[in-house]
Amino acid sequence: MKKITLILALLSFLGMQVIMAQTTVTGTVTDDSGAPIPGATIIPQSNPQYGTLSESDGSS
């Protein structure tokens, strides 16, 4: 019974990780003059353990 509970808990945790990783971020990262910032780190305030980098043109 303990093995079944452990396996179910592990599968639930892994399932949540997959769902959380499917967030879409859109937009363009720019500096004060409006120029794109390539390679900028983008971290959502609502979920700071996940993030991404902007593309070479500043898009995410």
Domain assignment present for 52: yes
- Tell me how far apart the alpha carbons of residues 3 and 56 are, in angstroms, rounded to a whole number: 48
Predicted pLDDT at 9: 85
Domain assignment present for 3: no
Domain assignment present for 40: yes
Number of structural domains (the chain) is: 1
- pLDDT tens digits for range 10-48: 878 776 666 665 667 788 999 999 999 999 998 888 878
- pLDDT tens digits for range 42-53: 888 887 877 888
Domain assignment present for 47: yes
CB 25 within 8 A of CB 52: yes
- Where in the sequence is the domain holding 42, given as residue range(s)? 24-60
